[in-house]
A = this chain, B = another copy of it.
Amino acid sequence: MTGNADLRQIATELPGSLIRRLANANMGRSDVIPLWFGESDLATDPAIAAAAAESLGRGETFYGPNLGLPELRKALAEYQQRIFATQAGFANIAVTSSGLNALLLVLSALVDPGDEVVVPVPAWPNLVAMPKVLSASVREVPITLEAGRFALPLQRLLDACGPRTKVVILNSPGNPTGWRLPPAEMAQLVAELDRRGIWLLADEVYSRILPAGVAPASFVEHFDEDRRIVTVNSFSKSWAMTGWRLGWITAPRRLVEVLERLIEFNTSCAPTFVQRAGIVALGPVGEAFLASQTARLDTARLAALEVLADEERITVPHCDGAFYLFPRIEGMDDSVALAERAIENGVGVAPGAAFGAGGEEHLRLCFARDPAQVREAIQRLVRTVREI
């Protein structure tokens, strides 16, 4: 056997996750406070988990519909109508085996080999990798730091779209930057892209992860059957359900019809007992969890910011949403080396290089943890920065 010439070249060239590489090698070390993954330290609310256990007890262990349980699709439509003003209803919802899986399915429905997908960076690395899995190309457009805040002027995004652009993926609120598209600009972006025949694929998994007092916004508010607009969401971040692998898509009906078949050929359906838990998360139990999570995240973020402010070589862009800080370390040009050094000091962070161009001088810190632990972790990080 000589090399991997008999594998698909694109597949062999996919980058492994820099985040996972560091984390996997140091998993389970009790002396390391982990801020590296985009995941809360809280287990799912027991009342949500109980719905899955009860479903299993009733023997709900059979195939379900490709698009999801009607009860969950209805609950999702009502949830979105309750939180956002949207025309999207039951027939526009497809349940998926995670938000990630939803993104891949939508891309599978829209992009052919050779098509182009525009992705603002720094970005969650999967957004850049997934189009490549489909033999599409990716055009990156920079989100830049302007006066302490990440920004992506609409014109810059539109200028990045060329004749081969089929889709723009917009992750707002954004991982890792904490950037959020100003809600006032949403309508214009949808209209401009649609006019050019380009689909907007909005990754809104952080739509409910916002500082207290900030009203949630979503592209579903601009949904229209006749527009090229798709949103993807997930139960993972809003309701501490990362391990459940449950997400959903909101799309025009003609796209939902295609997605139904693509789901049949991917995972076929999400487990029914998992979907039962999702229904509970969308109700009062989930809203109560969101309220307490928001308060806890605020406390943790403020604690982190307070400690980071102690070190003048660290500048922290404003966090408009999601549960990350993405500080820039002056004079630091190897984020992987710094992240490795941080582990030795007892804190796990994600190197900025994992998030592509514009990330190299940064580290990503997930503050979805007990605020006292976050404070301690950031103190260890500041100590590490002072060592270099």
Residues of A bordering B, CB below 8 Å = 1, 4, 6-12, 14-17, 20, 24, 37, 39, 43-44, 49-50, 52-53, 56-57, 59-66, 97-98, 100-101, 104, 108-113, 126, 129-130, 133, 135, 166, 197, 199, 226, 228, 240-245, 254-255, 258, 260-262, 264-274
Contact = CB atoms under 8 A, between A and B. Distances in A.
7 contacts: A4-B254, A16-B260, A20-B264, A52-B53, A53-B56, A101-B267, A243-B269
A63 B7 contact: no
Contacts of A108: 8, 11, 133
Contact of A39 (B17, B62, B261): B62
Contacts of A60: 43, 243
Contacts of A242: 61-63
A37 B17 CA distance: 39
Contacts of A20: 66, 264
Contacts of A24: 65
Given A14-B265, A261-B14, A43 B65 contact: no
B57 A39 contact: no
Given A20-B66, A44-B61, A8 B110 contact: yes
Contact of A98 (B110, B111, B268): B268
A113 B20 CA distance: 29
Contacts of A64: 243
A111 B61 contact: no
Contacts of A9: 112
Contact of A271 (B12, B244, B260): B244
B14 A43 contact: no
Contacts of A130: 265
A2 to B, nearest CB: 11
A113 B98 contact: no
A24 B12 CA distance: 40
A243 B113 contact: no
Contacts of A265: 14, 100, 104, 126, 129-130, 133
A258 B11 contact: yes
Contact of A100 (B10, B52, B110, B268): B268
A315 B8 CA distance: 44
A93 to B, nearest CB: 17
A245 B268 contact: yes
A265 B131 CA distance: 10
Contacts of A12: 258
A153 B137 CA distance: 42
B267 A100 contact: yes
A24 B67 CA distance: 12
A301 to B, nearest CB: 21
B97 A267 contact: yes
**A17, A61, A104, A270 pick with most chain B CB within 10 angstroms:** A61
Contacts of A101: 266-268
Contacts of A133: 108, 262, 265
**A60, A110, A243, A245 pick with most chain B CB within 10 angstroms:** A243
A16 to B, nearest CB: 6
A261 B262 CA distance: 20
